[in-house]
Amino acid sequence: MSERLRAAVNVDVDGLYLYDRIHGHAGGSGNSTGFDPATAVATAWTRGVVRFLDLFERCGVKGTFFVVAQDLANPDVVAVLNECVRAGHEIGNHSMTHPYDLSRLSAVEIASEVGDARKALQDATGQAVVGFRAPGYVLSPALLEGVAEAGHVYDSSRFPCPPYQGAKAAVIGLYRALGRPSGSIPESPAVWLGERRPYVERTPSGRALLELPIGVLPGVRMPFIGTSLIALGEIGWQLSRPLLARSRWVNFECHAIDLTDHEADQIPTRLRTQPDQRVPLSQKWPLFVRAVESLARTHEVQTLGQWAEQDAQ
Ligand SMILES: [Zn+2]
Protein backbone atom coordinates (compact mmCIF):
# COMPACT_ATOMS: atom_id res chain seq x y z
CA MET A 1 0.00 0.00 0.00
CA SER A 2 1.37 3.40 -0.94
CA GLU A 3 2.34 6.18 1.50
CA ARG A 4 0.17 8.76 -0.24
CA LEU A 5 -2.32 10.67 1.86
CA ARG A 6 -5.65 9.29 0.63
CA ALA A 7 -9.14 10.73 0.87
CA ALA A 8 -12.63 10.02 -0.39
CA VAL A 9 -15.85 12.03 -0.20
CA ASN A 10 -19.14 10.18 -0.25
CA VAL A 11 -22.84 10.80 0.22
CA ASP A 12 -25.53 8.52 1.66
CA VAL A 13 -28.68 9.45 -0.22
CA ASP A 14 -31.24 8.82 2.51
CA GLY A 15 -34.77 10.00 1.63
CA LEU A 16 -36.48 12.21 4.20
CA TYR A 17 -38.82 9.32 5.04
CA LEU A 18 -35.85 7.53 6.64
CA TYR A 19 -35.32 10.35 9.15
CA ASP A 20 -38.91 9.88 10.28
CA ARG A 21 -38.08 6.25 10.99
CA ILE A 22 -34.98 7.20 13.04
CA HIS A 23 -36.95 9.65 15.15
CA GLY A 24 -39.87 7.27 15.66
CA HIS A 25 -42.35 9.49 13.76
CA ALA A 26 -43.53 6.46 11.77
CA GLY A 27 -43.27 2.81 12.70
CA GLY A 28 -43.57 1.03 9.39
CA SER A 29 -41.27 0.66 6.47
CA GLY A 30 -41.65 2.35 3.10
CA ASN A 31 -42.71 5.93 2.65
CA SER A 32 -45.90 6.17 4.72
CA THR A 33 -44.68 8.97 6.92
CA GLY A 34 -47.32 11.64 6.70
CA PHE A 35 -45.95 13.76 3.89
CA ASP A 36 -46.13 13.29 0.16
CA PRO A 37 -44.15 10.06 -0.52
CA ALA A 38 -42.73 11.27 -3.82
CA THR A 39 -41.41 14.43 -2.17
CA ALA A 40 -40.09 12.43 0.77
CA VAL A 41 -37.88 10.52 -1.66
CA ALA A 42 -37.07 13.16 -4.23
CA THR A 43 -36.05 16.12 -2.03
CA ALA A 44 -32.83 14.40 -0.96
CA TRP A 45 -31.97 13.99 -4.66
CA THR A 46 -33.29 17.11 -6.35
CA ARG A 47 -31.93 19.41 -3.62
CA GLY A 48 -29.21 17.57 -1.70
CA VAL A 49 -27.54 15.44 -4.38
CA VAL A 50 -27.73 18.21 -6.97
CA ARG A 51 -25.81 20.51 -4.60
CA PHE A 52 -23.22 17.80 -3.91
CA LEU A 53 -22.73 17.52 -7.68
CA ASP A 54 -22.04 21.28 -7.75
CA LEU A 55 -19.67 20.95 -4.81
CA PHE A 56 -17.70 18.12 -6.43
CA GLU A 57 -17.44 19.98 -9.72
CA ARG A 58 -16.29 23.17 -8.04
CA CYS A 59 -13.62 21.31 -6.02
CA GLY A 60 -12.55 19.09 -8.94
CA VAL A 61 -13.18 15.78 -7.16
CA LYS A 62 -15.09 12.58 -7.92
CA GLY A 63 -17.27 11.17 -5.16
CA THR A 64 -19.43 8.17 -4.33
CA PHE A 65 -23.20 8.22 -3.86
CA PHE A 66 -24.66 5.36 -1.80
CA VAL A 67 -28.15 4.79 -3.16
CA VAL A 68 -31.27 3.14 -1.69
CA ALA A 69 -32.42 1.14 -4.71
CA GLN A 70 -36.18 1.40 -4.09
CA ASP A 71 -35.92 5.17 -4.66
CA LEU A 72 -35.27 4.45 -8.37
CA ALA A 73 -39.04 4.00 -8.79
CA ASN A 74 -39.19 7.82 -8.78
CA PRO A 75 -38.36 9.34 -12.21
CA ASP A 76 -36.92 12.51 -10.61
CA VAL A 77 -34.43 10.31 -8.78
CA VAL A 78 -33.41 8.51 -11.97
CA ALA A 79 -32.80 11.84 -13.73
CA VAL A 80 -30.37 12.99 -11.01
CA LEU A 81 -28.76 9.53 -10.80
CA ASN A 82 -28.00 9.79 -14.52
CA GLU A 83 -26.34 13.17 -13.91
CA CYS A 84 -24.14 11.58 -11.23
CA VAL A 85 -23.05 8.84 -13.63
CA ARG A 86 -22.45 11.28 -16.51
CA ALA A 87 -20.22 13.40 -14.26
CA GLY A 88 -18.06 10.33 -13.50
CA HIS A 89 -19.05 9.69 -9.89
CA GLU A 90 -19.33 6.24 -8.37
CA ILE A 91 -22.69 4.71 -7.41
CA GLY A 92 -22.62 2.45 -4.36
CA ASN A 93 -25.24 0.17 -2.82
CA HIS A 94 -27.11 1.38 0.27
CA SER A 95 -29.58 -1.59 0.24
CA MET A 96 -33.03 -1.95 -1.31
CA THR A 97 -35.24 -0.38 1.40
CA HIS A 98 -32.72 0.79 4.06
CA PRO A 99 -33.93 -1.38 6.97
CA TYR A 100 -32.08 -0.18 10.08
CA ASP A 101 -32.14 -3.77 11.38
CA LEU A 102 -30.62 -5.23 8.19
CA SER A 103 -27.77 -6.79 10.21
CA ARG A 104 -30.33 -8.84 12.17
CA LEU A 105 -32.32 -10.17 9.21
CA SER A 106 -32.12 -13.73 7.86
CA ALA A 107 -29.63 -14.70 5.15
CA VAL A 108 -32.49 -14.88 2.62
CA GLU A 109 -33.72 -11.39 3.50
CA ILE A 110 -30.16 -10.04 3.41
CA ALA A 111 -29.62 -11.60 -0.03
CA SER A 112 -32.72 -9.82 -1.27
CA GLU A 113 -31.94 -6.43 0.34
CA VAL A 114 -28.28 -6.45 -0.75
CA GLY A 115 -28.12 -8.61 -3.89
CA ASP A 116 -31.32 -7.37 -5.56
CA ALA A 117 -30.34 -3.76 -4.83
CA ARG A 118 -26.94 -4.28 -6.46
CA LYS A 119 -28.59 -5.72 -9.57
CA ALA A 120 -31.11 -2.87 -9.75
CA LEU A 121 -28.36 -0.24 -9.40
CA GLN A 122 -26.22 -1.92 -12.05
CA ASP A 123 -29.19 -2.09 -14.43
CA ALA A 124 -29.96 1.59 -13.83
CA THR A 125 -26.39 2.84 -14.25
CA GLY A 126 -24.92 0.32 -16.72
CA GLN A 127 -21.91 0.10 -14.42
CA ALA A 128 -20.52 -2.42 -11.96
CA VAL A 129 -21.48 -1.56 -8.38
CA VAL A 130 -18.57 -2.65 -6.16
CA GLY A 131 -19.23 -0.94 -2.83
CA PHE A 132 -21.77 -1.25 -0.02
CA ARG A 133 -22.71 0.89 2.96
CA ALA A 134 -24.98 -0.56 5.65
CA PRO A 135 -28.03 1.42 6.82
CA GLY A 136 -27.10 3.01 10.16
CA TYR A 137 -23.49 1.72 9.72
CA VAL A 138 -24.38 -1.54 11.53
CA LEU A 139 -22.82 -4.80 10.28
CA SER A 140 -23.00 -8.42 11.38
CA PRO A 141 -21.11 -11.52 10.21
CA ALA A 142 -24.21 -12.59 8.22
CA LEU A 143 -24.47 -9.18 6.57
CA LEU A 144 -20.76 -9.13 5.66
CA GLU A 145 -21.22 -12.55 4.11
CA GLY A 146 -24.20 -11.31 2.11
CA VAL A 147 -22.28 -8.24 0.92
CA ALA A 148 -19.36 -10.36 -0.31
CA GLU A 149 -21.62 -13.02 -1.79
CA ALA A 150 -23.55 -10.41 -3.78
CA GLY A 151 -20.29 -9.53 -5.54
CA HIS A 152 -19.12 -6.36 -3.79
CA VAL A 153 -15.39 -5.65 -3.52
CA TYR A 154 -15.56 -3.34 -0.53
CA ASP A 155 -17.73 -2.32 2.41
CA SER A 156 -17.61 1.14 3.97
CA SER A 157 -19.75 0.94 7.11
CA ARG A 158 -17.41 0.65 10.08
CA PHE A 159 -17.39 3.85 12.09
CA PRO A 160 -14.77 3.48 14.86
CA CYS A 161 -15.89 6.59 16.70
CA PRO A 162 -16.71 6.29 20.45
CA PRO A 163 -18.33 9.78 20.75
CA TYR A 164 -20.71 9.09 17.83
CA GLN A 165 -21.55 5.50 18.83
CA GLY A 166 -22.06 6.51 22.48
CA ALA A 167 -24.37 9.40 21.53
CA LYS A 168 -26.34 7.17 19.16
CA ALA A 169 -26.84 4.51 21.85
CA ALA A 170 -27.97 7.23 24.29
CA VAL A 171 -30.52 8.69 21.83
CA ILE A 172 -31.94 5.24 21.05
CA GLY A 173 -32.28 4.63 24.82
CA LEU A 174 -33.94 8.02 25.29
CA TYR A 175 -36.53 7.38 22.56
CA ARG A 176 -37.25 3.97 24.05
CA ALA A 177 -37.80 5.57 27.48
CA LEU A 178 -40.17 8.09 25.87
CA GLY A 179 -42.19 5.24 24.33
CA ARG A 180 -41.18 6.22 20.77
CA PRO A 181 -38.96 3.29 19.69
CA SER A 182 -36.39 4.41 17.12
CA GLY A 183 -35.81 2.43 13.92
CA SER A 184 -32.05 2.56 14.65
CA ILE A 185 -30.06 -0.06 16.54
CA PRO A 186 -26.76 0.54 18.35
CA GLU A 187 -23.44 -0.92 17.11
CA SER A 188 -21.43 -3.30 19.32
CA PRO A 189 -18.85 -1.52 21.54
CA ALA A 190 -16.08 -3.68 19.99
CA VAL A 191 -16.45 -1.63 16.81
CA TRP A 192 -16.10 1.71 18.59
CA LEU A 193 -12.31 1.36 18.88
CA GLY A 194 -11.73 -0.70 15.73
CA GLU A 195 -9.22 -0.09 12.94
CA ARG A 196 -9.61 3.34 11.36
CA ARG A 197 -7.57 2.70 8.20
CA PRO A 198 -8.54 0.41 5.29
CA TYR A 199 -8.12 -3.29 6.04
CA VAL A 200 -9.25 -6.67 4.78
CA GLU A 201 -12.20 -8.17 6.62
CA ARG A 202 -12.89 -11.94 6.53
CA THR A 203 -16.46 -13.15 6.26
CA PRO A 204 -17.56 -16.29 8.18
CA SER A 205 -16.95 -18.43 5.08
CA GLY A 206 -13.47 -16.90 4.62
CA ARG A 207 -14.19 -14.50 1.74
CA ALA A 208 -12.13 -11.32 1.71
CA LEU A 209 -13.90 -7.97 1.71
CA LEU A 210 -12.00 -4.70 1.83
CA GLU A 211 -13.27 -2.43 4.63
CA LEU A 212 -12.92 1.33 4.14
CA PRO A 213 -13.83 2.79 7.57
CA ILE A 214 -15.69 6.09 7.90
CA GLY A 215 -13.63 9.10 8.96
CA VAL A 216 -12.51 9.91 12.47
CA LEU A 217 -9.81 12.38 13.45
CA PRO A 218 -6.52 10.61 14.26
CA GLY A 219 -5.73 10.28 17.96
CA VAL A 220 -8.88 11.86 19.37
CA ARG A 221 -11.32 9.74 17.32
CA MET A 222 -13.79 12.57 17.01
CA PRO A 223 -16.03 12.13 13.96
CA PHE A 224 -15.16 13.82 10.68
CA ILE A 225 -18.39 13.50 8.73
CA GLY A 226 -20.88 15.96 7.27
CA THR A 227 -23.06 15.92 10.40
CA SER A 228 -20.14 16.78 12.68
CA LEU A 229 -18.86 19.47 10.31
CA ILE A 230 -22.28 21.15 10.51
CA ALA A 231 -22.68 20.68 14.26
CA LEU A 232 -19.20 21.98 15.17
CA GLY A 233 -19.17 24.75 12.57
CA GLU A 234 -16.25 27.01 11.73
CA ILE A 235 -14.42 26.53 15.05
CA GLY A 236 -14.68 22.75 14.77
CA TRP A 237 -13.32 22.90 11.24
CA GLN A 238 -10.35 25.06 12.28
CA LEU A 239 -9.52 22.56 15.05
CA SER A 240 -9.93 19.55 12.76
CA ARG A 241 -7.92 20.83 9.81
CA PRO A 242 -4.37 20.30 11.17
CA LEU A 243 -5.28 16.77 12.31
CA LEU A 244 -6.78 15.94 8.93
CA ALA A 245 -3.85 17.41 7.02
CA ARG A 246 -1.57 14.62 8.25
CA SER A 247 -4.09 11.80 8.39
CA ARG A 248 -3.20 9.04 5.91
CA TRP A 249 -6.82 8.05 5.40
CA VAL A 250 -9.78 10.45 5.38
CA ASN A 251 -13.17 9.04 4.44
CA PHE A 252 -15.46 12.08 4.55
CA GLU A 253 -18.98 10.68 4.77
CA CYS A 254 -21.92 12.97 4.17
CA HIS A 255 -25.67 12.69 3.77
CA ALA A 256 -27.71 14.27 0.99
CA ILE A 257 -29.74 16.11 3.66
CA ASP A 258 -26.53 17.93 4.73
CA LEU A 259 -26.88 20.28 1.76
CA THR A 260 -30.60 20.93 2.11
CA ASP A 261 -32.07 24.15 3.47
CA HIS A 262 -34.85 23.63 5.98
CA GLU A 263 -36.80 26.73 4.94
CA ALA A 264 -36.12 27.06 1.20
CA ASP A 265 -36.54 23.32 0.54
CA GLN A 266 -39.77 23.20 2.61
CA ILE A 267 -38.70 20.31 4.79
CA PRO A 268 -41.33 19.25 7.38
CA THR A 269 -40.87 21.12 10.67
CA ARG A 270 -40.68 17.92 12.74
CA LEU A 271 -37.36 17.09 11.08
CA ARG A 272 -35.77 20.06 12.85
CA THR A 273 -34.78 17.42 15.43
CA GLN A 274 -31.97 16.73 12.94
CA PRO A 275 -28.96 18.96 13.81
CA ASP A 276 -28.27 19.50 10.08
CA GLN A 277 -31.72 21.08 9.69
CA ARG A 278 -31.10 23.83 12.24
CA VAL A 279 -28.31 25.43 10.19
CA PRO A 280 -29.24 27.29 6.98
CA LEU A 281 -27.60 26.29 3.71
CA SER A 282 -25.96 29.73 3.49
CA GLN A 283 -23.83 28.71 6.50
CA LYS A 284 -23.32 25.05 5.58
CA TRP A 285 -22.28 25.52 1.94
CA PRO A 286 -19.08 27.55 2.59
CA LEU A 287 -18.02 25.04 5.26
CA PHE A 288 -18.35 22.12 2.84
CA VAL A 289 -16.51 24.00 0.10
CA ARG A 290 -13.63 24.78 2.47
CA ALA A 291 -13.47 21.21 3.78
CA VAL A 292 -13.43 19.52 0.35
CA GLU A 293 -11.10 22.11 -1.22
CA SER A 294 -8.73 21.70 1.70
CA LEU A 295 -8.80 17.89 1.45
CA ALA A 296 -8.12 18.11 -2.28
CA ARG A 297 -5.00 20.21 -1.55
CA THR A 298 -3.50 17.91 1.07
CA HIS A 299 -4.73 14.51 -0.15
CA GLU A 300 -5.30 12.56 -3.29
CA VAL A 301 -9.09 12.39 -3.51
CA GLN A 302 -10.55 9.40 -5.33
CA THR A 303 -13.78 7.45 -5.18
CA LEU A 304 -13.94 4.59 -2.69
CA GLY A 305 -14.21 2.23 -5.68
CA GLN A 306 -10.93 3.52 -7.11
CA TRP A 307 -9.17 3.08 -3.76
CA ALA A 308 -10.55 -0.44 -3.44
CA GLU A 309 -9.39 -1.31 -6.95
CA GLN A 310 -5.84 -0.18 -6.15
CA ASP A 311 -5.73 -2.07 -2.85
CA ALA A 312 -6.99 -5.22 -4.54
CA GLN A 313 -3.97 -5.24 -6.89
ZN1 LIG B 1 -28.47 5.69 5.19
CA of 223 to the centre of ligand 1 (A): 17
Q: How far apart, in whole angstroms, are the C-alpha atoms of residue 244 and residue 224? A: 9
What pLDDT score was predicted for residue 93?
98
SS3 288: helix
Distance 98 CA to ligand 1 centre (A): 7
Q: What is the pLDDT of residues 182-195, one digit of tens each?
A: 667 777 777 777 88
Reported confidence tier of residue 204, pLDDT bands at 50, 70, 90: very high
List Cα–Cα distances, 201 to 30, 145, 154, 166, 207, in angstroms: 31, 10, 9, 24, 8
Residue 61's closest CA among 311, 309, 299? 299
The CA 280 to ligand 1 mean position distance, Å, reads: 22
What would the mean pLDDT of 192-212 be, rounded to a whole number?
Answer: 91
State the distance from the centre of ligand 1 to the C-alpha of 202, rounded, in angstroms.
Answer: 24
Distance (Å) from CA 235 to ligand 1 centroid: 27
Rounded distance from Cα 13 to ligand 1 centre (Å): 7
pTM equals 0.90
For residue 43, how far is the Cα from the chain centroid? 17
Of the candidates 258, 255, 230, 245, the residue with the CA atom closest to the CA atom of residue 293: 245
Q: How far is the CA of 131 from the centre of ligand 1 (A)?
A: 14
Residue 208 Cα to ligand 1 middle (Å): 24
CA–CA distance, 31 with 116 (Å, rounded to integer): 19
Q: How far is the CA of 81 from the centre of ligand 1 (A)?
A: 16
Average pLDDT over residues 117-123: 98
Q: Is 182 helix (H, G, I), strand (E, B) or coil?
A: coil
Consecutive H or E run containing 137: none
- Gap from CA of 94 to ligand 1 centroid (Å): 7
Q: How far is it, in rounded angstroms, from Cα 310 to Cα 23?
A: 39
Distance 173 CA to ligand 1 centre (A): 20
Phi, psi of 202 (to 5 degrees): -105, 130
Residue 2 Cα, ligand 1 centroid: separation in angstroms?
31
> How far apart are alpha carbons 113 and 143 in whole angstroms?
10
Query: What's the start-to-end Cα distance of the chain, in Å?
Result: 10
* pLDDT tens-digit readout, 18-59: 887 777 665 434 434 456 777 778 899 999 999 999 999 999
Residues 6+ apart with CB under 8 A from 303: 8, 10, 62, 63, 64, 89, 90
Task: Give the distance between the most distant pair of CA atoms in the chain.
Answer: 51
Instruction: List domains and CATH numbers for the chain.
Output: 6-312 (3.20.20.370)
Grade residue 4 by pLDDT with cuts at 50, 70 and 90.
Answer: confident
Q: pLDDT tens-digit profile of 63-89?
A: 999 999 999 999 999 999 999 999 999
